[in-house]
Structure 1
Amino acid sequence: MKSKLQTGLAGLRSKFMEALPIILFFLFLFYSVILIFGISHVILVSVVTILFKINYRRYMTARQLMGLVGTQFLMAFLSFLATLNLPLCILLNLTVPFLLVFLQSSQFNQLGYYTGAMCFTFLQLRPVGWQGLVMQMAALAYGLAVMTAVLYFHSRRSRKGDDFALAEKGLLLLAAELQSAAGPVPEDGKKPADSLFPILQGLYKEAYKSRGLTKVVNARGRIQYMFALLFQRSVYFLTNPYQESTLADESCRDIILRLARYMETMGKEGFQQGGSKDDRNGYSKGYRDGLSSEGFSKQGKELLAEAAGREEAPYIFVRNFLGLLLLILEDLRRIDENVPSPGWKLPVYRRPVRRLFCHMRTDTFETRFALRLSVVLTAGFTYSMMSQANHGYWLALNAFLLLRPMYEDSASRMKSRFIGTMAGCLLLQLLLPLFHGTGWHFVLATVMAVGLYMETAGTWQQALFSTCFALTLTTMALPQTLAAELRFLYVVIAILMVLAANRFFFPTSLKSQFTYNLNQLLHIHQVYLRLLGRSLKMPLDYGVICDIQIHYHLVHDQIQEYLKKAGHEKEGFIREMLWISWYMVSEAEQMLYLINSRKISSMDNEQMDDYLIFTACIISDIQKRLNMRADHVPAAGESMAYRRTMEGEERLSRLMEQYSKQVSRLYLCVCRQTENANING
């Protein structure tokens, strides 16, 4: 019993210390806003605190902070307009949430809309009219100024190099994998590069987070992307059977081991700051005397020169690896020296206006959730404005908090909100008689606020503290029992409204998203083939290549995550298909690199066109066999010749041949699955 109590107290203390910066920020803002602007503007504190909570662990530039602040002011003004009359309320609640979700969220960043929509929603809860607009904007400006100052100084103290800690860890893992590449398969049955997959997937996710309205990745995101590409090509090399025989050659083994030692040193020392990390830990004297970023570049160039002139797979791998790594080191140097280094531009088809008017489809996550959120908020605020019911805005507030992108998350929150609200109402009936007077109400509210920010969002415990905090303030102006009844009533109505919307109005669930992702997986292979065809005629902008590469790996990762959580009756087949598909993309990416960078001297464009058309037809047939929407591809003509090698181009020929083998493997895998399904059916 004593040990359980100690464990519980230790867990409570840990949660408190983790939430302490948020708690202190909230309490300071809460009481200062009340003192300066009055309690009627306290709703702003919740908005600004959530913004702080989301961003205080991030490194944020002054430009990013200004963009965040500007967005909140825009949302605040639009929310004010929505409170003026019913037509504006309906119009703005239909359009603003829709645009926020459609333009700022995606299936990989499902809550991208949240901070803007939260400000737009919360500030409609307490209309201020024209006479109160200046005071409301002043209160918002004060809260955002405090938040901006804290985030800015916190960012200045945090190390920029921490952004690349995942890449440093990956270099150490990769060095170990290369050193054991010629050895036997581990007894636990793991593939040689299993430990690297989470690294490269994590780097692709980090690169995606840097996406903006005009850039597919920014300068730092570009480095994360190039590291991801580096590890992807390394995993491909390590897991491909053709490299096993080449590593039997002593010179090939030697060049790989030297590369591994170089990576290990870089991973331990920290490639961005040279010897700064391990100098403090007394790491090897040989490197203490000064491997800076420039020193790593020099060593890399020397090793690159030694790897030139040989065409065995290990030598090609070393050259490709070091060529990309040296580009990364140069970009890191530019960042350290504050030299402008723009990211790649967003492809035209990904740009906001183009997506809004040309690429809006009801089968995509963004469109479906955007429509659902807009309709629910419009219904909630229309009821509040038309009925003028006491605290009627609680309906829209709870509906906003309960409506999540995925049905499963919404269902979990509905259950938690119901239990937490009921428990909070009952608890407060017992506590409020003990806290008489305004001063004691604020003491109780402070305690509940501490609990609110200690608990995980979406749990019934957090809903309990949220209910107690809201009712503690509400009962200053409303009878205790009436306030509790209204709170519970509006939570129940919000649950029913959100449940109906999730079931019958453009529903999105993990299962439906999984099915959509499987379709996307094969569609992306068709896109790669089209990009290869386009690159034959003229070089592509690298933003297009970067976009499709990141998109594929995030889709691949979502499918794997779903299989881990939910499983599937055809899990074995899907995992085999994923593995083959990953190889295909790795080979397509390398072919695209060779062609797009014009490293091919004797390209037969007509032969390559035939190769791509035949391959596209096979993948289209695979899509049809799996009952997926097949991409439209040109029919293969009788005069076309399907040759899997390119005369005079050994590297490209090897990739073409490997890619063709993977397509054949995928086709056979799908045929076996469909035949088994027909037999069992």
Structure 2
Amino acid sequence: MMAILFQRSTYLCSDLNNGDYINKFECMICIDSLSIFLNNVRIKIEENDNSILISEAKKLIKIGKFKDERIKTFYNSFLYMLILILKNVTIENRDNIKHPLTENVNKYLNRLNRKFSSKSFEVRYAIRLIFVMTLTVSLCKIFNISHLYWIPLNALLLLQPGYEESNKRMITRPIGTVIGCIIIFFIYPYLPGVTGIFILSFLMLSIMYSLTPGTWYQPIFSTVYALSMASLSMNNTTAIQMRLLYLFIAVFIVMLVNNLLFPNKKEYMFKLNINTLNDIQFMSWELIYKSLLSHIDNGMFHNALNYFHMIYMDSENYIKGMEDTNKAKKYRDILTVHWRMLSEAEQILWVIQTRSIDYNDMENLFRLADYFTHLEINDLFIDNDYLNDNFIFEDDNVNYFTRQYIININRLFEIYKNINI
């Protein structure tokens, strides 16, 4: 739980530091208040009874009336996680924690089944990889030519999950290989026999593994290494010719497969990532539903959080490279709203985990979780009157975060109406 607190705090602090649109004064009050309380926890935390610290944390939640949505979310997230830690750290609660609910096997299998779709990123890459490796290895088996294994080896290095990354390597690898061939052609005559070849090979291998794959200079060292070793069993000039020929055969095969068979272009990958963010929102409400029934394993949300930020960062990198600034702004708004929604769902989860809400609020959350897990979030618009008539929460924090979540759902709905994704 300490690890989750640290991880969440890192993500939230990172968000607080982005841009000038955050209320700096409120941010200072928030951080100052939390740091003082955390120092107090460090001094007073014990294994027998932390009820005084828990009461202080709940009091801080009540008096922390921040106007900025991001700061309020961060503030409550930190304190609710600390309350959970303070409760579970005591010997009595450690012994009484029930066996946590794990993920439902059927739902896991359903998600796995979706992964085997032809639209899945993993399946599309796997099909291309199977096709390329089957073709290139078959060439090795059919034609008994020396060092023909260089074709599948080069093809494996050229074929990447992303279409653009593969195209980049089909430029950088030939450049590095040609430079490497020129270097070995001129220095080979001056090598002092087998000992010199082994020393050069060891040096090239050491440098090669310290460089970033996919760059134009990394293949220089791998080429010098491969050709120096190949020269022990064949003429150096012949080895250079074969190295270049096999590389260009591999480039041709990979280029053909990359363009004709399920190309994973960046735009397609971005759309998949956005759909994945919707799935993660769905998963968060599944966890809320489970937490209302029993104590859940905090690692389940920890995994969802890691997955979310991996997708978030990948999507953000794509947006940074876009030329259409208007479209990029809308895409960035989608990411921001998804981040806020997950943070708000997390707050609701921690409130439930601390058992700080009454029966009526739990019943309403049951119905709300059931409502969200049966609808597509990006096609959903929730009217405030509908919310007021059907979901009334007595707990101020649950009421605040559910309403903020619904406001953000409506924001997503408006964004999706004006953009094709």
For residues 330 and 641 of structure 1, what CA distance do their matches in structure 2 show? 33
CA distance in 1, matches of 2:148, 2:119: 34
SS in 1 for 2:227: helix
Between the two proteins, what is the percent identity of the paired residues? 27
Q: Secondary structure, in 3 states, of the residue corresponding to 1:508?
A: coil
Provide the aligned length of Structure 1 versus Structure 2.
Answer: 395
Q: 1:665 aligns with which of 400, 411, 418?
A: 411
Partner of 2:313: 557
Q: 1:321 to 1:521 in 2, by over 3 A?
A: closer
2:322 is matched with 566
In structure 2, do the counterparts of structure 1 residues 436 and 260 end up closer, same or farther at CA, with 3 Å as the change threshold? closer
Provide the residue aligned with 1:583 in structure 2. 340
Distance 1:387 1:574, change over 3 A: same
1:313 matched to which residue of 2?
64
Q: Is the 8 A contact 1:407 1:508 kept in 2?
A: yes
Shift of 1:570: 0.8
CA distance in 2, matches of 1:355, 1:553: 19
Contact 1:395 1:490 in 2 (8 A): yes
C-alpha deviation, 1:425, in angstroms:
1.8
Q: Look up the SS of the partner of 2:116 in the other structure.
A: coil
Among candidates 179, 184, 193, match of residue 428 of structure 1: 184
| Range with bigger deviation, 558-567 or 465-474 | 558-567
Question: Deviation per CA, 1:426-446, whole angstroms, max 9, x where unpaired?
Answer: 222222222253223234334
Aligned partner of 2:360 among 583, 599, 603: 603
Q: Distance in 1 between matches of 2:144 and 2:199?
A: 31
Contact 1:394 1:490 in 2 (8 A): yes
Cα separation, 2, equivalents of 1:358 and 1:477? 50
Taking the TM superposition and a 5 Å limit, the aligned residue runs for 1:193-592 are 223-231=2-10, 257-261=32-36, 295=43, 297=45, 304-309=54-59, 311-313=62-64, 321-322=78-79, 324-325=81-82, 348=105, 359-435=115-191, 437-453=193-209, 455-568=211-324, 570-592=327-349
Following superposition, the deviation at residue 663 of structure 1 comes to 2.3
Distance, in Å, in 2 between the alignment partners of 1:593 and 1:459 is 45
Residue 94 of structure 2 corresponds to which residue in structure 1? none
For 2:340 and 2:265, locate their aligned partners in 1 and report how far apart those are by CA, in whole Å. 29
Which SS does the other structure have where 1:392 is aligned?
A: coil
Where relative contact order (Cα < 8 A, 6+ residues apart) is larger, the structure is 2
Determine the structure 1 residue equivalent to 2:95. Answer: none
Q: Tell me what 1:115 maps to.
A: none
Structure-2 residue corresponding to 1:122: none
In 2, distance between residues paired with 1:614 and 1:554? 27
Q: Distance in 2 between matches of 1:331 and 1:473?
A: 60
Amino acid at match of 2:238: L
Scaled by the length of structure 1, the TM-score of the pair is 0.50
2-side partners of 1:343 and 1:477: how far apart? 62
Q: 1:395–1:493: 8 Å Cα contact kept in structure 2?
A: yes
Cα distance in 1, alignment partners of residues 254 and 44 from structure 2? 56
**CA pair 366-296 structure 1, distance change in 2 beyond 3 A:** farther
1:648 aligned partner: 394
Residue of structure 2 equivalent to 1:60: none
On the 8 A contact 1:297/1:326 being kept in 2, the answer is no
Q: For 1:603, what is the secondary structure of its paired residue?
A: helix
Matched letter for residue 592 of structure 1: L
- Specify the code of the residue in structure 2 equivalent to 1:584: M
Whole-angstrom distance in 1 between the partners of 2:280 and 2:307: 8
- Matched residue of 1:566: which SS? coil
Distance 1:258 1:436, change over 3 A: closer
**Matched residue of 2:242: which SS?**
helix
> Which residues in structure 2 correspond to 1:41-60 (within 5 Å)?
none
Q: Which runs of 5+ in 2 are unaligned?
A: 67-71, 90-98
* Cα deviation digits, residues 85-126 of structure 1 (max 9, x gap): xxxxxxxxxxxxxxxxxxxxxxxxxxxxxxxxxxxxxxxxxx
1:567 deviates by: 4.8
1:159 aligned partner: none
CA RMSD in angstroms, aligned pairs only = 4.4
Is the CA contact 2:80–2:354 (under 8 Å) kept in the aligned structure 1? no
Q: In structure 2, what is the Cα distance between the partners aligned to 1:615 and 1:644?
A: 14
- Asked if 2 retains the 8 angstrom alpha-carbon contact of 1:644 and 1:660, the reply is no
Cα separation, partners in 2 of 1:518 and 1:540, compared to 1, 3 Å: same
Listed one character per residue, the Cα deviations across residues 594-639 of structure 1 (whole Å, up to 9, x for unaligned) are 335543213256644554566678855x4499xxxxxxxxxx9xxx
TM-score (norm. length: structure 2): 0.76
